[in-house]
Structures are given as C-alpha cells and as structure tokens.
Chain A
Amino acid sequence: MTDDLDDLRKAMKAATPAPDAGAKAGNIALAQKNFANLQGSGEVTRPKSNRIWTGVKAMFSTMTTRGGLVASTALIAIGFVALNPQLLEFGAQPEAVTLPASVGSEPLEMAAEDRHTGAIVLEETAPATLAAPQAASKRLQQTAESYDWPETRIYPQPAPRPSIVLPDGDAVAPAPVIESDTEAFPDAAANPLKITAEEPVSTFSIDVDTASYAVVRNSLMNGALPPRAAVRVEEMVNYFPYAYPAPDGNAPFQPTVTVAETPWNPGTQLVHIGLQGAEITERPPLNLVFLIDTSGSMQAANKLPLLKQSFRLMLSQLRPKDEVSIVTYAGSAGQVLEPTAASERSVILEALDRLEAGGGTDGQAGLQQAYEVAEGMSAEGEVSRVILATDGDFNVGLSDPAALTDFIAEKRESGTYLSVLGFGRGNLDDATMQALAQNGNGQAAYIDTLSEAQKVLVDQLTGALFPIADDVKVQVEFNPARIAEYRLIGYETRALRREDFNNDRVDAGEIGAGHTVTAIYEVTPVGSDAVMSDPLRYGDAVAGDPEAEIGFLKLRYKAPGADESALIEQPLPEASSLGGEAQFAVAIAGFGQLLKGESALLEWGYGDAIALANGAKGDDPFGYRAEAVSLMRLAQSLSE
C-alpha cells in the first residue's frame, strides 16, 4: 500500500501552491511588528498558562540537593530578569516587583470580521514607555493573548499551578514551591553499626536487581544528585559484571571471600564476598510472556517506543525453540500475540508494532492473564518467565502492594518467574517494582537508554532468564573476640531474620547463569582505634575464641525447582589485599554511600572513589566501568 501513499505524496507536492508573495511579505512584516511590540512591552510571558512556573517546577523537581536548589534559584532569578526586562528597569521599586496583572478579565473587543478570518490586526501602539508600561502593554498583550492556542489540547503538560485571584479579579502567578513528583522509592535507613557481642549473626538475601544504578545514572545525567532513597548500594555494586573465580564441577556458584583494609577508614576492614554463578552452555527452551503496560503514561518516547526497541534487540538473542507471547494491560487486559515460536520474527515484530499507549492502568488483571498464558505454554524441562514492562504506575487493583505480592508469591510456587523492567522516570513506582520482582524470584532492571536495554536483555540475557540457584541466602557469624563491630553495606531491603536462614519456606533472591553477586561488610577489629562503642561497665567479658578465625560464612541455596536447600560454608580468611575486581566493587560501594550521605566514610570523597575505580577498571569490555567513573565525576561536580 505504499504506492497509494507515494501517489498521494506526489500529488500533494504538485498540488501545494507556492505561497502568495504579497501575503508572505505582509505576514512576515506582521510577525516582526508583533515581535518588536511584544519585546517593548516587557510583559511576563503568558501568565494565563503559567508557563514560567511549569518550567520552574520541572527545574525544582529535578534539583533535590541543597546546592542544586541554591544554584537553580539563582538561575531562575537570572532567567526571570531576562524574560522580564520590566523587572530590570523597576527592580528597585517594590511595587514594580509584584508580577504584572494578567489579562483576560475584560472582554476583548474584536471585529466580527476579524473573528471570522482569525486575523489579528494590531493597532498602532506606541512602544511601551517606562512611564506607563502597564497601560501600554496591557492592550497589546490582550491582543496576542486572545489568540490563545492551548497546547495542552493535544500535548499533555503538567497542570498549571492554580493562580491566586486578587480581589479585583486579576490573577497573579503564585510563587514557585518545591513539588515532589510521584516517584516512590522504598524507604529503608542504612544498616546501622552492629556490636558483635550483642548480635554476632547477620543474615540477608542476595539481590541481583540493578534498577537503582540506572536511576542514579539518569539523575546524574540530568544534572541532579539522585534522591538518597533512590540509592541502593548493593544494586549499584551488582550492576557490574565481575570476573570472580568460577565454580568447579557441578556447584551452581562459587563464593570468594577477601578481607582487606578499608579505603575510607584505616581502623576498619572490609569483608568482600563475591559469588560467581556458573555459565550454562546448553539451555532449555524458554517461554516468555511479555506483559506490557500500555497505559497512557507509557506514551513518552523513553517508554513504549524504547520498550519496543529493547524487545527487538532481545528477540535476536532468542533461539528457534523459544516461544513468545504478548499480553497488554491498559484499562482491560488482552493477549496481543498468541504463543509464537521465536523463529517467526516478523509475526512477533508486527505484534509489537501494533502496540500503542492509551487508557488507564489495571496491573492485576493483566498479570493474572500473563501467568495463565505462561502456565499454558510451559512443558517439561522448559523455563517460563513473565516479563513485566511498565513505568511502574499501577493505578487500579494494585493500590495494595501486599495483595499483589501475595499473588505473585503464590504464582512463583508454580515455577513461573517474574522479571520487571522499569521505563521512564517521574512516574516510576520503584517500591512496587522491587516488591514484585523480589516476590517473583526475578530481576528488576530500570531501562532508560537503548544501551541499557542492550545490557539487560542482550549481554546478560542468559543470566537474566536462566536461574541456576534460587533462594540464595547469606549468613555471616562474626567472632566477637576478633571483631568488635560490623556493618553490612547495602542490602537494607533484603535483611532476613536469623532463623529465616534455615527456613526453606522463606523466599530469597536468585542467581542467574553467569551472574555475579557481591556483598561487603565493614568490620572493626577488636582493639582498633575505630571502635565506636565503649565496652559495657557491667557486662560479661566478651565470649569467643581469640585464636579462631574472624568469622564464618554460610550460604544456602536451592537448585531451580527444588524444595530443599543446600548449604555451603567456609571460614572468613585473614586480612590480605583486595583483588582488582573486588577493588572496583568497593569503589562503587563507596560511591553509592557517598550518594547516600553515609557518615562512616569520614573524609573519603568522590575524588578517592574515582582514583580507586580508575585503578581497577580491568578489561571492561562493555565500557560499564568507564561510564561509572564519569558518573562519579558528575556527582563530584554536582556536590561541590
């Protein structure tokens, strides 16, 4: 059917007349005259639509640091004067500082003929003089304002802040206030320093989510330090692939533990625990159900269009035996693509192209259908996964995250995994995304660029989609005779109770093929200057064996689909020095803590993080580490 369009294009070209030369000259002259008049009037642009305030709001909502706020306020002050020469002229006079009264309270006189043709005829208005700027400009602005084409008709913009209406009926734009957007992040305080004698055992679930790093990157790229609650150190550390020693034989993963001096505190040591998942060469057929949010909020270019491109990338990685189905949710849930073999690329791509955004979000109905489809697709020996792609805004049905997570947890038992891909910012409900992925035994990743999609869906496809160990839990017992205090860096949202470690019914994170997971403790040896807490006056002498190792590491995991867990245990080694891979992980952990404003870092700053990371970039085949260093530089300049 392109022929029709080509015909039409040709016909259209031929039919399009040249603009009338006289009209063109006249129109251009009219525009220039209006332009000149408008500059002379010195009116603030269109108080009616609150455009300036919309911009200010956007600026404030991305600037969250104190320094950023001061800087942006200064910028606004400059911008305001530039837009409003009148303020410059009258800046010293208090009455001139009030915003000009807006127009629109008096009916506009316009000849019927003019209204019909839509032409605006500006009267000869003397250039606004300093003596009477208001009076001269008011009429002019009315004329221009009366020709208002509200762009909000087809381009949704943030709702204008309500104007304050003065007694005489004139509206004045209110002063800007800092408004938060609707992004929500899980609210977890940094892990506190624990006293070994009181609480010798630390238990947590591993976490292979990486969403926080992408959110941090997105913030920094937009020139603002990320909100502290958006920074999850373990997700930043686990964003990067590390080349830890690989497991031998049949073990699904291999722990490597190093103890070394802390870069930011000579009085403490870091316990670096690296888990390396086994690579798989032969993989079972994969059933993927894409559950795609097509609500109106997904329309932006960095959401649905990016999602489509991402899935295109991923399709190229699938094998002919894999099957794909697409379910959408937006107002009502629907299966857009029946389960289709991955070899039928064009059918799948066509279905993807048909997707469009519009309507409200009803997450739960879509989710139920996606699981039904996935269950229908799965056969013996195959892996099924629902991939939920959303900007995280579940408007309907999921207002109660607890009910939702219960549903997903129940489905997890049936062997269908859930991954969550987050798109877009500003509307992203990070907390719900986390809750979903953690309960669905899946990964949550935030996709802001095509290269991030490349990383998550192509470079790490096997790891992201093929779990090799489920419910991986870590427990470390420190020897109170050797370690006075300890602090787990990150994993705040992943803490488990001590007794949960041996309880196979308690859910935990999964490791995918080839994945690496890193956890870091900062520990203070007994007798170090850096010990923060005084010994108890009336307490017993500290138990423990000063001759024994500093602590003991236990890991529990389940083979995929298994009900019973297996145990790996080993003592923590004596202090040595960090290898290059561990050093980079520590640099990122330091970076994340700086962004969180962690006081334990003492005088250590971004410069130190950059130096540490630069010394440990390694091969960096995908350039992730180089990118991290440039983000550190950005954060350094933003925080100054």
Chain B
Amino acid sequence: MCASVKPFKMRMTTDDRSLGLAAAGGDAAAFAALLERHYDRMFGLAFRLTGQQAEAEDLTQDICAALPAKIRAYRGEAAFSTWLYRVVVNAAHDRRRRQATHRKAAQGWGDWEVNRVAANAEAADAQEWLQTAMASLPEALRDTLALVLDDMNHAEVGAVLGISEGTVSWRVSEAKKHLRSLKEKETT
C-alpha cells in the first residue's frame, strides 16, 4: 500500500509526452528532465511576450512556481510543448492583467511610460524598434506573433491559442499590416 511512483527508465530518449504524463503522475525525475529540456524555450517565449528581460525572468519564475500544480492536469491530449506554451501564454495574460490593475491603482499610464522609455533607452536601435513594434500590437496579435516568431507553424500556434489555423494566418497578416504601417510612419 504505497503510492510511490515507479521512475522512468531511459530518461534521455523518452519523449516529452511520456515524461509529461509521468510528471503528472508524480514522477519528480521526469518533471526535472522536462524542466531542463524546456526552460530556455519557455524563457524565450516569455521574452517575446513581454519584451523585457526582467519581465521575462519574473514571468518564468511565476510559471516555475505554479507548474508543479498545473502539470497534474496534463493528460497527454496535446503535445507537451503545445501544452506548455499554453501555460506560458496564459501566465503572460494573467500577469498583464494584474499589472494593468496595479497600474490603475498606482499612477496609470505615467508609470508604464516611464518604464518603457527607460527600457527603450538601454536597448539597441533594432531592439528598440522591435519592442515598440511588438508593444504597439493588440494583445491577440502580439501573442500570435510571439509564437510564430518561435518557429512554430500556424497549425501549432492555433493549437496553443485554441484558435483555428485560419485565424492564426489572419492574425499574422493583420500583424504584418500593423508593422508595415508602423514602418511607413517611421520612414516619413
């Protein structure tokens, strides 16, 4: 009568889904292996979603803290990376929402603008354009673009966001339109 979990063998070659299911069942070694494998990609996406290193570090920390509870719900229905990306996107939404509330409670736009200007000042030109460009996009387009820029195809992005492939394609073309007009504004 013991609930100990039989650890997986052949850890290095085990696929993400099996590891995810093992972790969902309480296998700590599987969970550690998954985390090691995906941390950098997770951080990369967090950066694309937030646009700032400090924000990305914080967001990744949020995710790491809550991932143990969340992974129990993983049932292998989606690819593990899709599932994990969902978690990241949701965490980013949650964070944005909390920050919005915080901003309202504090000084409104001023605070945000000061932060943004400060951050932009540190950044190189290309990066500045990038951040401004990303920040100027509506949230849905920004999330979509962050995933597309992660070398995912439209179908995979659709699976992460829970929308159809066609919607992803439409959003990407909308985002491109935004960026194009932004560029035009800059050059004139």
Contact = CB atoms under 8 A, between A and B. Distances in A.
Contacts of B8: none
A145 B44 contact: no
Interface in B115-168: 123, 126-127, 129-131, 133, 145, 148-149, 151, 155, 158-159, 161-167
Contacts of A117: 58
Given A12-B130, A151-B86, A120 B62 contact: yes
Contact of B149 (A1, A12, A24, A28): A12
A23 B180 contact: no
A38 interface: yes
A630 interface: no
A15 B93 CA distance: 22
A567 interface: no
A147 B44 contact: no
Nearest to A145: B69
A186 interface: no
A478 to B, nearest CB: 53
Contacts of A107: none
Interface stretch (A254-262, A348-356, A388-396, A490-498): A348-356
A31 B67 contact: yes
B14 interface: no
Q: A15, A38, A88, A141: which has the most chain B beta carbons within 10 Å?
A: A15
Interface in A147-174: 147, 149-151, 153-156
A263 B4 CA distance: 54
Interface in B53-70: 53, 56-62, 64-70
A614 interface: no
A16 B44 contact: yes
A16 B86 contact: no
Interface string B15-45: 0000000010110100110011001100110
A118 B130 contact: no
A31 B126 contact: no
B73 interface: yes
B79 interface: no
A122 to B, nearest CB: 8
Interface in B86-129: 86-87, 89-91, 93-95, 98, 102, 123, 126-127, 129
A116 B100 CA distance: 11
B1 A151 contact: no
A39 B28 contact: yes
A28 B60 CA distance: 10
A141 B89 CA distance: 23
Nearest to A27: B64
Given A28-B35, A30-B61, A154 B162 contact: yes
A27 B36 CA distance: 11
Contacts of B68: 31, 34-35, 37-38, 144
B40 A34 contact: no
Contacts of A286: none
A61 B90 CA distance: 28
A139 interface: no
Contacts of A156: 162
Contacts of B170: 354, 356
Nearest to A308: B166
Contacts of A154: 89-90, 93, 161-162
A249 B98 CA distance: 77
Contacts of B86: 151, 155
A35 B66 contact: no
B176 interface: yes
A120 B94 CA distance: 14
Contacts of A24: 39, 43
A28 B36 contact: yes
A46 B39 contact: no
A35 to B, nearest CB: 4
B66 A27 contact: no
Contact of A38 (B69, B75, B98, B145): B69
Contacts of A5: 148-149, 172, 176
A259 to B, nearest CB: 51
A149 B65 CA distance: 12
A47 to B, nearest CB: 12
A83 B25 CA distance: 7
Interface stretch (A62-70, A299-307, A533-541): A299-307
Interface string A43-80: 00110010100010000000000000000000000000
Contacts of B59: 118
Contact of B69 (A27, A34, A55, A153): A34
Given A27-B60, A155-B86, A149 B3 contact: no
Nearest to A146: B66
A8 interface: yes
B11 interface: no
A119 B91 CA distance: 12
B176 A15 contact: no
A357 B164 contact: yes
Given A12-B48, A38-B69, A299-B164, 10 more contacts: A5-B148, A19-B40, A20-B57, A23-B61, A31-B64, A89-B1, A147-B69, A155-B86, A299-B162, A305-B164
13 contacts: A8-B145, A38-B72, A39-B26, A45-B69, A82-B3, A89-B1, A89-B3, A119-B65, A151-B90, A304-B166, A305-B165, A305-B166, A308-B166
Interface of A: 1, 4-5, 8-9, 11-12, 14-20, 23-24, 26-28, 30-32, 34-39, 42, 45-46, 49, 51, 55, 81-83, 85, 88-89, 91, 115-120, 122, 141, 144-145, 147, 149-151, 153-156, 299, 301, 304-305, 308, 353-357
A-B pairs, top 4 by smallest CB distance, nearest first, are A85-B3, A35-B68, A120-B65, A31-B64
